[in-house]
Amino acid sequence: MISRRKALHAGAGLAVLATVGAPSILHAQTKTLKITTWGGKWGEVMKGTVLPAFEKEFKCTVSADQAFPFVPKLQASSKNDPIYDVLHTNSNEQWNSFTEGLVMEKITAKEVPNVADVYPYAVSDKIVGVTIFTSAIGLGYRTDKGLTKPTSWKDLADPKLAGARGGYIIPVNSLGQAHLMMLGKVYGKGLTDLDAAYKALEALKPIKLVDFTGQMEKMLLSGEVSEGVIHDSGVYRYEGQNQPVDFAGPSEGVLALEQVLNVTPGSKVKELGFAYIDYMLRPDIQKMLAEAVWYSPANKKVKLDAKYDAKLLTTEAKVATLIQPDWKWYNARKEDIDARVTKILKG
């Protein structure tokens, strides 16, 4: 026979078990979406506003990884249980991931309804996944050095800029890689004319080279570089801060630096992944992020405030100036290109 004391003990034990176990039971019922995302201002808006609203609406939790590099981590995880459900990277990395079977090829309006409203470049044959924003890669320049506003990519080769022009360490930076292809177009037969590109690159020496765009921003702001390759958002974000820098889109066209989302084929919450991409393409979310970080939204229906609308790529005509590199072609030759440009730029 169970005594009163034993019954109380057993009851207390059950209560403790229930208290301890409850969160895990609750957790098991709540789906978790694992994504990658940028840090900085973008990360602040995402973590402060965008993701909490998504979690509330879709009754899920989002685990966002901001620690680069993302693709090697995806490579190292199992394809059947990938470390990410949604991969957010630039286009070149999406192509690498797709080649290894780590992400899907296309995201269509069938899975993500808002894809029906994006500009054609966002789902062109140069894209795997879907582009949610783009920046324009052009030339950033100091306005206090007596320089005329650049109108052509060739302006970067002006002898006056020797030692004061800026570019990227091509093997590690996609802006540098895109610029190399642009040199092929401007000085040769097209984006894939590597011989012309190498020759033009040699002519840009002496040039200050950096690893990432944040460094280029600092070089322009400090005056270490007077003119350099940079994306528009990297310059426009200093608007209103009284900085003597501006952005110029060369007449030959600006290069697209796409922000691409894609779903991993082995994701256990693929539908939630599609819902997240759809959510990121909603006009209100696009407007909020575009105005926070000066990215051009991919959704045609987005209406930005006049200040942003004047500078970002928000019409069919402006979007037509975008040139999308063929990253599949580039990635297939990357090792050879890396070796060649390393030798060219050394010394």
Residue with tokens 């994006």: 118
The smaller minimum CB distance to other proteins, of residues 72 and 240, is found at 72
Tokens of 265: 């084929």
Strands 165-168 and 322-323: unpaired
The rounded distance, in Å, linking the Cα atoms of 340 and 102 is 29
Coil, strand, or helix at residue 80? coil
Question: In the beta sheet, which residues pair with residue 136?
Answer: 256
User: Closer to other proteins at the Cβ: 98 or 279?
Assistant: 98
- The strand pair at 296-297 and 245-248 is best described as unpaired
User: Phi and psi of 136, rounded to 5°?
Assistant: -110, 125
Helix (H) or strand (E) holding 178: helix 174-187
208 beta partners? 166
Going from the C-alpha of 199 to that of each of 137, 165, 191, 205, the distances in angstroms are 21, 17, 14, 11
Q: Could you tell me the smallest distance in angstroms from the CB atom of residue 300 to other proteins? A: 33
CB of 154 to other proteins, least distance (A): 22
Q: In the bound complex, what is the minimum distance in angstroms from residue 177's beta carbon to other proteins?
A: 9
**Between residues 159 and 347, which has the closer beta carbon with respect to other proteins?**
347
Contacting residues toward other proteins, per CB under 8 A: 68-69, 71-72, 75-79, 96, 100, 163, 169, 171-173, 208-209, 211, 222-224, 334-336, 338-339, 342-343, 345-347
Q: Which helix (H) or strand (E) holds 254?
A: strand 254-263
Query: Closest approach of Cβ 345 to other proteins, in Å?
Result: 4
Q: How far is the CB of 274 from other proteins (least distance, A)?
A: 23
**Cis peptide upstream of residue 206 (ω within 30 degrees of 0):** yes
Between 9 and 79, whose beta carbon lies closer to other proteins?
79
In angstroms, what is the minimal distance from the CB of 338 to other proteins? Answer: 7
Which is closer to other proteins, CB of 209 or CB of 322? 209
* Nearest approach, Cβ of residue 234 and other proteins (Å): 19
Q: 343: which 2 tokens? A: 């030798």
Q: At what angle do helices 270-280 and 283-293 cross, to 10 degrees?
A: 60
CA distances to 47, 152, 167 from 41, in Å: 10, 31, 24
**Alpha carbon distance 79, 312 (integer Å):** 38
Which C-beta is closer to other proteins: that of 122 or that of 128?
128
CB of 223 vs other proteins, minimal distance in Å: 6
